[in-house]
């Protein structure tokens, strides 16, 4: 079962790529890097959760109809 559609997958992958580049190649304080990683993890987690809940609601509506 797919959780994301194509556009959502591309956005999540881009967000992950930017995060990895920021964590390893940008010279900023470690506290900022941890904060960036935490924010990105939260965004990806919430996007996955929202997509899953929407898919489940759609399946419930289809079974009730």
User: Would you state the pLDDT for residue 3?
Assistant: 64
**What domain range includes position 24?**
6-64
User: Would you state the pLDDT for residue 39?
Assistant: 93
Give the list of residues 6+ apart from residue 40 with CB closer than 8 angstroms, or none: 15, 16, 19
With residues binned 3-state (H G I as helix, E B as strand, rest as coil), the percentages for the chain, rounded to 5, are 85, 0, 15
pLDDT per residue, tens digit, the chain (65 aa), is 566 677 788 888 888 898 999 888 989 999 999 999 999 999 989 988 988 898 899 889 999 87
User: Would you state the pLDDT for residue 17?
Assistant: 92
The answer, as to whether pTM is greater than 0.85, is no
User: Would you state the pLDDT for residue 1?
Assistant: 58
Q: Determine the Cα–Cα distance for residues 9 and 47; give it in Å rounded to an integer.
A: 10
Domains of the chain: total: 1
Q: Does some domain include residue 38?
A: yes
For the chain, give the longest Cα–Cα distance: 56
Q: Does some domain include residue 1?
A: no
Q: Does some domain include residue 29?
A: yes
CB 52 within 8 A of CB 3: yes
């Amino acid at each position: 079962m797919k959780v994301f559609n194509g556009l959502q997958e591309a956005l999540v992958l881009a967000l992950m790529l930017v995060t990895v580049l920021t964590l390893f190649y940008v010279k900023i304080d470690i506290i900022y890097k941890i904060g960036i990683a935490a924010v990105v993890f939260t965004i990806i987690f919430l996007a996955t959760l929202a997509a899953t809940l929407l898919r489940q609601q759609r399946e419930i509506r289809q079974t009730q109809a």
